[in-house]
Amino acid sequence: MKVGLFTYGMKDQLTGIGQYAMQLSYALKAQYPDIQIILLNPYPHSSLEWYRDFPVIPMPRLGLLPGVIIAGSMALATTARRYHLDIIHDPCGIAPFAFPGRYRRVVTIHDAIPYIYPQYYPLLGKVVYRTTVPLARWTADAVLTVSESAKDDLIRYTQISRSHIVVTPLGTRVPTPKALQIWRQDLPNIQKAFGVSGPYFLVVGANHPRKNVTRVIEALRLMRQSGEPVELIVTGQPPQGTGRTAEPGLQFVGHVNDETLHRLYANATGVLVPSYYEGFGLPALEAMAHGTPVIASPVSSLPEIIQDTGLYASPSDTLAWVGAMRRLLSDTALRQHLADAGYHRASQYSWAQTAKETVWVYRRIMKGQAS
């Protein structure tokens, strides 16, 4: 079986969707030697090692969303025919599959955020979600999504039938206790590198308004005004309106490499996920895998993933976040209990399992069966 994985939006730094596509491709390669993964790459000059680990078909015309909307369907269909691809899998939720062919078509739609919070999306993004995504009920042989919560929302907003959508949860790599111990011994270097002197909370990925990072920044300010020496580290680009101005206890550190992120996770008092909506909530799962407690909003997929291994605070209630953060700071026994429970739960999610469930869909549609 030859599978073309369309890597739109995955140029040099991978977001959550890019991580999903990359980790899925490696897991498929490791477990299923009868399946050849070929990256349909719009970015021939990407610095990512990923593109050197797999066969690549360059598709430079599809590097920007207008090009995908205008030419994507024809280009992918032509590529499938020319290179004898059995399946094209679009992991980024665009579903540019208007031109049929002998190949099978799979799309992963991670969430229904553009329907629920359209004010946060540019015009072209809205066009995609109002046209090609709903059409996937006819143009795709199978639709994948990453949580039961996301599946319910997609059924509601896109009218894709329940039987056509398969949930394939994301995975994570659970570090060994020895690795965690090594990373935690590096706390002094983390403090020095990021200018923190005491306990800190961590937010991973902050560049979208729905991430609601301003809520926990407000909580941080209230706590510091009360004399509590708590600090907050935020990775990724800061949300619009917050800027990068110096503020006591707050650090926006931009993109960090994987090794640094491991250390940030492992040494945090807690990881904060104050989002209004998450299709899955990968930072929460990654925190749990590092034995770090999570405080999250009780919305969308987050309770499904975290269950009773974390604390919850309303995304609209700053004082609730203050209270939850104080609980983690003051209650050592609670912190350890949540850390252990989260670590155990994270072990139930793996990229190997994601690959297994994806291959089940691939083989089913190759037999001509509906998803």
Say how many domains are in the chain. Answer: 2
Regarding whether 139 and 198 lie in a shared domain, the answer is no
Domain contains 371: no
- One domain, residues 127 and 19: yes
Does one domain contain both 75 and 219? Answer: no
> Residue 218 belongs to what domain range?
177-346
pLDDT in tens, 279-293: 999 999 999 999 999
Residue segments in the chain with a per-residue pLDDT below the cut of 70: 239-246, 369-371
Looking at the structure, tell me whether residues 322 and 305 fall in a common domain: yes
Pair 338, 201 in one domain = yes
Q: Are residue 297 and residue 150 in the same domain, yes or no?
A: no
Q: How far apart are CA 19 and CA 6, in angstroms?
A: 13
Same domain, 153 and 188: no
198 lies in the same domain as 327: yes
Same domain? For 154 and 196 the reply is: no
Tell me: do 155 and 227 sit in the same domain: no
Q: What is the CATH number of the domain that holds 89?
A: 3.40.50.2000
* Residue 243 confidence (pLDDT): 54
Q: Please tell me the predicted confidence (pLDDT) of residue 15.
A: 84
- Residue 309 domain-assigned (yes or no): yes
The pTM of the full predicted model, rounded to 2 decimals, is 0.91
Residue 72's pLDDT is 92
Instruction: Let me know whether 125 and 260 are in one domain.
Output: no
